[in-house]
Structure 1
Amino acid sequence: MSALICGSIAFDTIMVFHDQFKNHILPEQVHILNVSFLVSDLRREFGGCAGNIAYNLGLLGGEGKPMGTVGSDFAPYAEWMDRVGISQDHVRFIDGSYTAQAYITTDQDDNQITAFHPGAMNSAHEVKVSECTDCTIGIVSPDGRQGMIEHAEQFAETGTPFIFDPGQGMPMFDGDNLLKFVDQATWLAFNDYEAKLMQERTGLSPEQMAQRAEAVIITRGGEGSSIYTRDKVYEIPVASALSLEDPTGCGDAYRSGLLYGLMNDMDWDTTGRVAALMGAIKIEHAGTQNHKFSRDVFDVRFKQTFGYAL
């Protein structure tokens, strides 16, 4: 069984400013803002929701095929995907474009200033769900707006079960758009803030959405997560992390656990715990695709964390 992972494929350029932004930004002068921050630490990471989810799913032993669009600068990322065994069957090059990229500067208070260039991601709708003939489950994660709309429609038309995970793409859609996604998707996944925004825009509570989809999954950071189904709410405890290095990409790691559980017919209690442990392992490492483990190690840690074997 393969999962088709529709979403962004991007470079993340992460810079650290060893001071506080507030010491260099005058609130009364923001209308003529002209500042420069000297960043002594810089790293370039392979990221994007589709790439991150596929990477994490592969660590668990599942097969995820990212589907997205990239630009002329993609070669280093392509080499990385080959090295770690991520399929490029549904990655399309867009001439004259750069691969999507985020430029993130973080200060000592963990405040962030981010500039995001979508580049080739805006052409995500040019790749079609029908191109993956052996994918039996899917996910629509943040991507180009038209791509998210068309990929959800294509999953629904072919009867392929899929997770709708709007993430940071939520602001692109109004209430009517989001209601349509609710009716198309098999499962819905949000963080706590996104769930509140979803309710505000659609008028539907998580319980009400769970009557229209098979399940609604809401992550709550250090408070664990909740999985709403039509007749029950599963409260998933947080998995303790050995250290707290970098939360970037934890949501994608969690979603890989959801896909793995669904692909292997696990119950919701176990699926949620696999997802929670994936998030905990990710937060222990800087970057979104720098962590790794053997499946035996994961199974041992799962039993130690939750008290039963997978």
Structure 2
Amino acid sequence: MSGLELFSIGSWSIFDHLLRMKRLPAEGETVPLDMPIEEMERLHFGDCSANIAAVAARLGLRTGLGMVVGDDFETSGYGAHLQALGVDLSGVEIRPGARSGHSFNFFDAENRSFCVSHLGVAEKQDDWRIPEAAIVQARALVVSEMFGPYTLGAIEAARRAGRLTAINGMVASAGQSASRFLAAADILILSRGEAADLVKRLALDAAGDLLDLGPRLVVITEGSDGSRWHRCEGETRLPAVRTESFVDSTGAGDSFAASVMCGLIRGWPIEQTGKFAATVASFVVEAWGCQTNLPDMDRVALRYRNYFKENLIP
């Protein structure tokens, strides 16, 4: 595992079922699905931490993954899929006889959505051990759900080792431990809804106030409205990359987070990093599933140049 540029860690549900309808049902109502039946039956590879690892590896980062899964991680072909992308799986613990979790994602024509999950082996994480040797050897660490002892141990170990640290997603779910996560983080990446929830729970006035709790950079994604980048110098707004072939937004936020880490690890300025991340996410929304349309750097550079009328500088 030595020589890794990014280590991604967290465990939620690793399999996704995507179910689209024209509108979400009212209480007691039955509505038809608006999607090909072949897609309804398809099992997609997911989980925030694995999505980030897959995207980062596809973009050329030497990437490792940490999670605990059931043996269906191998029998489903998920492990082989990630290895083919170049993800180092030495930090993945497979528990024989256990089942990994499944998420059922429901969304309508306007992309309003909700998700229900059965976590399987990821439900109880109190006794999990982090792959600390791998974490402290990587240049950067990003933690995703679930925000509990496993990921808290990971980010605090990385902080002690002086590594670049990032949080992706719903850290408000950490409850009283949220302040410890934030204190150990250099970068915080949230959706608009996640940011609003965290600000409310911490009784803050605005998202920029999160900078006082540890992070030096707070990135808030706002879908088609682009993203907001909060630093002590002030706020920067950056655009989204719109696509005419929108299919499914599942995994777009994770691809954005992976791309942010890619840009920062490579030393890019904020403006280029944000536009790069928006470009990568624009590919992910063009196909069903989180990892089914991952672009390489050549495809990203071409779309970046066509959309922003400037070159992506390595």
144, 151, 157: which one aligns with 1:154:
157
Q: CA deviation at 1:45?
A: 0.7
Amino acid of the structure 1 residue aligned with 2:167: F
Specify whether residues 109 and 234 from structure 1 end up closer, same or farther in structure 2 by C-alpha distance, changes over 3 A only. closer
Distance 1:206 1:19, change over 3 A: closer
Distance 2:92 2:196 in 1: 33
Distance 1:166 1:240, change over 3 A: closer
CA shift for structure 1 position 193: 0.9
Contact 2:17–2:102 (8 Å) recurs in 1: no
Q: Is the contact made by 2:135 and 2:141 (CA closer than 8 Å) also made in structure 1?
A: no
**Under a length normalisation based on structure 1, what TM-score does the superposition of the two structures give?**
0.86
- Specify the code of the residue in structure 2 equivalent to 1:194: E
In the alignment, the residues of structure 1 paired with residue 24 and residue 189 of structure 2 have an alpha-carbon distance, to the nearest angstrom, of 33
Contact 2:135 2:157 (C-alpha < 8 Å) held by counterparts: no
* Corresponding residue for residue 178 of structure 1: 178
Q: For structure 1, which runs of at least 5 residues remain unmatched after alignment? A: 27-34
| 1:48 corresponding residue in structure 2 | 47
- Given the alignment of the two structures, is residue 12 of structure 1 paired with residue 15 of structure 2, yes or no? yes
Aligned-CA RMSD value: 2.6
CA contact (8 A) 2:10 2:145 kept: yes
CA distance in 2, matches of 1:36, 1:224: 32
Amino acid aligned to 2:160:
E
Distance 1:86 1:10, change over 3 A: farther
3-state DSSP class of the match of 1:226? strand
The CA deviation string for residues 150-183 of structure 1, in whole angstroms up to 9 with x for no partner, is 222222222222111233x633x22x42222221
Task: Mark the CA change 1:25 to 1:269 in structure 2 (over 3 Å): closer, same or farther.
Answer: same
Please show how residues 212-291 of structure 1 align to structure 2 within 5 Å: 212-291=214-293
Displacement of 1:285: 1.3
Q: What residue in structure 1 maps to residue 187 of structure 2?
A: 187
**When the two structures are superposed, what TM-score results if normalisation uses the length of structure 2?**
0.85
Q: Distance in 1 between matches of 2:147 and 2:88?
A: 20
- Structure 2 residues not aligned, in runs of 5+: none
* Cα drift, residue 287 of structure 1: 0.6
Structure 2 Cα separation of the partners of residues 55 and 299 of structure 1: 18
Secondary structure of 1:82's counterpart equals helix
- Verify the 8 A CA contact 1:100 1:116 in the aligned structure 2: yes
Count of residues in Structure 1 that have an aligned counterpart in Structure 2: 299
Corresponding residue for 1:32?
Answer: none
What pairs with 1:54-93 in structure 2 (closer than 5 Å)? 54-75=53-74, 76-93=77-94
Report the CA distance between 1:50 and its aligned residue.
1.4
Q: Report sequence identity in percent.
A: 20
SS of equivalent residue, structure 1 residue 127: coil
1:37-56: CA deviation from partner (whole Å, max 9, x where unpaired): 89943210111111111111
Instruction: Give the conservation status (yes or no) of the 8 Å contact 1:224–1:237.
Output: yes
CA contact (8 A) 1:57 1:257 kept: yes
